Structure 1
């Protein structure tokens, strides 16, 4: 069954990778239901869509198009085998650790019903940054993560609700364009020849689409 394995909220820690000096990438599982709502604009809103979560680099993280981040336990298991180390849910900074969900194969604009109330929509792939590199302490981590194209998915809130470990995840809508999270990630990073495909995706964040237009024009 496709379900939420854990719901993870930030435990702040120092961050020497960026000037803000603190990061919420370290997320740990919590008990009980967590309310989820649209956080508003990236720089002036509430940051995360999950009540109780914290985002500090609000210029680059959070906001309506990055209200939540999901990563699949199956991809963690793959990385554990590759790296030879344990990777608990939340270490990649995701709010929702899933099982039985094809997160990277999800289509941009796909909608997930989680539990009885919450409805989320896939927006785009997670792009690795210097904070992620510092957190993982693995040589050439950004390049390695990028090459494997297992980025996990950002989500926006369509209908607010609560989320808890064990909630079922049901795909209730898949758009017709066929562009997956993984394909969008590859287009953005190592395969720019795929960038025009992102302009065929109306559900992609406008900021992503505008940057694609700029890159294609340049």
Structure 2
């Protein structure tokens, strides 16, 4: 069984928007010291938006909802980016709710389930497609293209069983679908390799709107 740790749990207050045509953003995530409540937020536009109680999402058209309830990023990928950019990158900088240690998020299989000691269960859905808010937050030239090219996207997760999430919590990968489609492979196909789009249909755990888009493209 693959295991890891919740190195940091991060919550974003509302702040002025960073370049999008929306009034606010929640990308400025800050680590918390006490557990937060995690629940399924419902539909992207009309639900509670973030899966973390108290976490703000400004662009509700593109972020949040059941299939993007939690965003996780690996400390190992942070270390790689830190070496590339030549500066420290603290947990939460990329806007993730959960900074992990010990898990290969690029190699996570779409649909695999993470069980936490509290009973919380999350399911991997897809990687993060970077946007202008992220680029302005990082203040790095051509960041959107660079982040997408390197395919160290982190992972979005949906909530299967609600529960608390706190720093230091143990994470166990308790179920991994046999189709084997990883976050990195799915992202690479969707963003850069249209010839392999049909492969995405092997993973019914992908977000329904993404699967519908793929089906439309193929037809």
Q: What TM-score results when the alignment is normalised by the length of structure 1?
A: 0.97
Alpha-carbon distance, 1:116 to partner: 2.5
Alpha-carbon distance, 1:12 to partner: 2.7
Alpha-carbon distance, 1:214 to partner: 2.2
2:69 aligns with one of 47, 67, 72:
67
Q: Is the 8 A contact 2:14 2:25 kept in 1?
A: yes
Any gaps of 5 or more consecutive residues in structure 2? none
Q: Is the 8 A contact 2:18 2:25 kept in 1?
A: no
Secondary structure of the structure 2 residue equivalent to 1:145: helix
Equivalenced residues, count: 217
Aligned equivalent of 1:171 = 173
Alpha-carbon distance, 1:76 to partner: 0.3
Q: Is the 8 A contact 1:186 1:192 kept in 2?
A: no
Q: Is the 8 A contact 2:106 2:184 kept in 1?
A: yes
What value does the CA root-mean-square deviation take over the aligned residues? 1.0
Alpha-carbon distance, 1:51 to partner: 0.8
Q: Is the 8 A contact 1:36 1:51 kept in 2?
A: yes
Aligned partners of 2:66 and 2:181: how far apart in 1?
Answer: 21
Aligned equivalent of 1:51 = 53
Aligned equivalent of 1:91 = 93
Alpha-carbon distance, 1:187 to partner: 1.0
Aligned equivalent of 1:147 = 149
> For residues 85-122 of structure 1, what are the alpha-carbon distances to aligned partners after superposition, in whole Å with 9 as ceiling and x for unaligned?
11111111100000001111100000000123100000
Q: Is the 8 A contact 2:69 2:156 kept in 1?
A: yes
1:130 aligns with one of 113, 129, 132:
132
Alpha-carbon distance, 1:73 to partner: 0.3
Q: Is 1:188 aligned to 2:190, yes or no?
A: yes
Q: Is the 8 A contact 1:111 1:174 kept in 2?
A: yes
Any gaps of 5 or more consecutive residues in structure 1? none
> For residues 46-92 of structure 1, what are the alpha-carbon distances to aligned partners after superposition, in whole Å with 9 as ceiling and x for unaligned?
01011111111111110000000000000000000000111111111
Aligned partners of 1:83 and 1:13: how far apart in 2?
Answer: 25
Alpha-carbon distance, 1:17 to partner: 1.5
What stretches of structure 1 move > 6 A for 4+ residues in a row? none
Aligned partners of 1:21 and 1:193: how far apart in 2?
Answer: 38
Q: What TM-score results when the alignment is normalised by the length of structure 2?
A: 0.96
Alpha-carbon distance, 1:215 to partner: 2.4
Aligned partners of 2:18 and 2:158: how far apart in 1?
Answer: 29
Q: Is the 8 A contact 2:13 2:54 kept in 1?
A: no
Aligned equivalent of 2:41 = 39
Aligned equivalent of 1:159 = 161
